[in-house]
Amino acid sequence: MTPSRPRGVPLTLLAAAALVSCGNDATPTPTPAANTWTIASGEYTLAPGEERYLCTTATLPADRETVITAMTPTYGTGTHHIFFAQTLAPEDAGTFECRTLFRTTWAPLYLGGVQSGTLQLPRGAGIRLSGGQQVLIQLHLQNATASPIRARTSMTLTLADPSAPVVAAGVFGVDNRTVRIPARSTNHRTAMTCRPNRDMNVFAVLGHMHKYGSRLEFVRGGVDSTDALYETDWNFGEQPTTPRVFTLRADESVSLRCFHSNTTSAEVPYGESSDQEMCASVMYYTPFDQLDGCIEDGTARDDAGSGPGDASVPLGDGGVPVGSCVQPGETGNEQGVGRFCTARGNQCAGNAANLCLAALAPTEGQWFCTHLCTMESQCGAGSVCVGDSRGRVCMPARCAPSADAGPASDGGAADASTGRDQ
């Protein structure tokens, strides 16, 4: 099996759905201890059998940086998973409905299944956030009981002195979307291989499946490897973030194997609902360099892993997409926006523009480095900020759709649809 290449911003538990908002205020709840800070959801209710997705935002203290050294969730009844992130574009304040599993403007900090516990970062490691940064917790809620539920869920951060140096920590996700569990099957295996293309000091692992899961295995090497890094018999009611210490070299691959048993008379497909299935894992590691992950969706990929991985993108001379605005040899602006890149070439590493569109959006046929943005002034010389409600990225003005192209401007609020400064 050809290893899945990193796909940039998309991580485990990915979706791009419409955000539906409604009222309900919620406020961050500082805890008494000086070195902790807590964000709590608004109170939610669930009728028997009801399933909801709920988001809550809050703003970190504006007068100083926040350095996180541990994250501890407190699960309210009916909470299936917690997704905690910093927002790269402003979200509504308070608590609101958000039937969205993941948005490209949410940079993950913690992902946890049912009753996952404290994520303690290694000594000397931390996650550093700017003063006034907006953060978000997204809850997947489901009431499997015969009685109504009324509860709250929260996330408590343990903080360090922001003046002290720390090694950056972050997440790398592996998500197999080819899950299809045949009717009346036992221990049906779904497997994928991923090459992260970076040196990683892993300190914790989270696996994620739903009700039909029976076993999850994470190994070094190919799908039939016996070099186990993490393995567990699956318990839907307990999905902990588990401390695991191991290293991965940039030239090594890992494989994820999920086993499911389906006693029903119908196939169970991949999906976000607990009545569908998933096969995903997250590695927490240092030193963190950029948001990244591998997705296996059944799309054909070339053996070298340098192409767009989609037969619908025609390639020209040199194996570059015919319609790619940026060509080999181009270096981009002072941030690296517009630098030519391939999906696994690591040409964007070390730049402010540290995401490669060849990996981030392989079906678009545009191969250059970029980064997320909310306004054009963040993109550097000759570049614009374009996108939609799912997220916006910087690109050379000459590469942007005509409706979005134009000179970068200085400061101002970002337009909700294009991200252009006003």
Lowest-pLDDT range of 137-151, 190-204, 333-347: 333-347
* Contact present, 186 and 24 (Cβ < 8 Å): no
CA distances from 235 to 50, 61, 96, 212, 372 (A): 21, 38, 30, 10, 37
* CATH class of the structural domain 170-296: mainly beta
The structure tokens listed for 128 are: 């550093």
pLDDT in tens, 319-378: 788 788 898 989 999 999 999 988 767 788 777 787 888 876 666 788 899 887 778 888
Q: Report which of 98, 87, 170 is spatially closest to residue 132, judged by C-alpha positions.
A: 87
This model's pTM is above 0.85: no
CATH topology of domain 36-168: Jelly Rolls (2.60.120)
Pick from 59-68, 86-95, 131-140: least confident:
86-95
Residues 236/115, Cβ–Cβ less than 8 Å: no
Question: Distance (Å, rounded) from C-alpha 40 to C-alpha 153?
Answer: 6
Domains of the chain by residue range: 36-168, 170-296, 317-399
Evaluate whether 36-168 and 170-296 have a shared fold. Answer: yes
pLDDT of the residue at 9: 33
Which of 178, 101, 86, 100 is closest to 136 using CA atoms?
A: 86
Nearest-5° Cα angle at 47, 106 to 113 = 40
Give, rounded to a whole angstrom, the gap between the first and last alpha carbons of the chain: 49
Average confidence (pLDDT) over 187-205: 93
